[in-house]
Amino acid sequence: MTNRLVVSDSSSLILATKAAVLQTLCMCFAVQIPEAVFEETVEAGKRAGKADALRIEEAVETGRIKVAKVAALKDKKIEKWLKELCLGEGEEQALKLCLQVKANLFLVDDRQAINAAKLLEINWSTLPGLIVGLAEKNRLAPEKALDALRVLQEEGRYKLDFILDAFKKIEALKEAKK
């Protein structure tokens, strides 16, 4: 694990699990989630019988993912603004946690939360972008990255051109290694 801190929203964490990159994510980064993301991914997931909920719970129980309590922001204007955005509870708490712990990266796929992260000057990435970055840094084999992107194409809500761009980048990496 590294000291580079990643905070994830619920859907990115669930998709990382489904795409079999959760372990790599936890090996490459210190991963934290707010309590609302734990509730959305583990508690609600277990009630719905989702296998990924058990994998995320195991990562929490073994200390690979830390669940953090989110404090109220000192800047009440930002606190009020975040409430007015009507984000999901997980995204709102994840943004607050990013500010609270000075996260290096916010793993997110919600457009409105991405826009909020930009305005708050929080470094962010989508899961496809992170997968490409991990492959570029040789932390994820190109074949495994392609497999993960295939899962995201099926399970995620990403635009086709966005996923195809990620596929092209990984294919270019494969070619360069030949």
Flag whether pLDDT at 1 surpasses 60: no
Give the pLDDT of residue 178: 75
Residues 120, 134, single domain; the answer is no
Give the pLDDT of residue 101: 97
Which of the residue ranges 51-55, 82-86, 94-98 would you say has the lowest mean pLDDT?
82-86
Query: How many domains does the chain fold into?
Result: 2
Query: How do residues 35-82 score in pLDDT, each as one tens digit?
Result: 999 999 999 999 999 999 999 999 999 999 999 999 989 999 998 999
pTM: 0.94
Q: What is the CATH number of the domain that holds 114?
A: 3.40.50.1010
Give the pLDDT of residue 134: 97
Residues 151, 107, single domain; the answer is no
| Per-residue confidence band for 177, with pLDDT thresholds at 50, 70 and 90 | confident
Q: Write out the residue range of the structural domain in which residue 146 sits.
A: 128-177
What letter does residue 124 receive in the DSSP assignment? E
Torsion sign over Cα 165, 10, 6, 87: positive
Residues 116, 137, single domain; the answer is no
Burial 27-43 (b: 16+ CB within 10 A, else e): ebbbbbbbbbbbbbbbe
Give the pLDDT of residue 152: 97
And the tokens for 178?
């030949």
